[in-house]
Amino acid sequence: MTQESYLLSAVADYMSILKENRTLLKILLFKAQGSSLENFKIEFTDKATVQVKTWFANNKLRHPDMNIEVSDFMIHLHTVWMFTMFEEIIMHRVTGDAMVRVVEEYIKFEINGWKHILNIE
């Protein structure tokens, strides 16, 4: 998958999540206190951190020059940042082309930031 096709795929996935589940996301992210999903973001972030570390280790085997010396907290922050983006889009009622632009810019920043950190060309 090329960087451009990955970008298009990721934007489509994020847009689908945001458009098709906006009301549920609003409940999950802002009104889950006292429910079984109260700690969803924390639990998701912890699991995602472990999964990303595993992905790094597996890819290091195929790409020995890849830098996987990344702190757990840095990985954690990037997952939290995704939730923050969702929350801000919902709170500020960002829709349509503006939402596509925000999501696209976020993903471009993530791709290029990780490429730099991981020493991927």
User: Taking 70 as the threshold, does the pLDDT of residue 15 lie above it?
Assistant: yes
| Dihedral sign of CA atoms 90, 91, 96, 99 in order | negative
What integer pLDDT is reported at residue 40 of this predicted model?
98
Domain with 44 in it = 3-117
What integer pLDDT is reported at residue 1 of this predicted model?
62
What is the tally of structural domains in the chain? 1
Size of the chain, expressed as the number of residues it contains: 121
H helices present in the chain, as ranges: 3-20, 22-30, 40-62, 72-91, 96-117
Q: Give pLDDT tens digits for 53-99.
A: 999 999 999 999 999 999 999 999 999 999 999 999 999 999 999 99
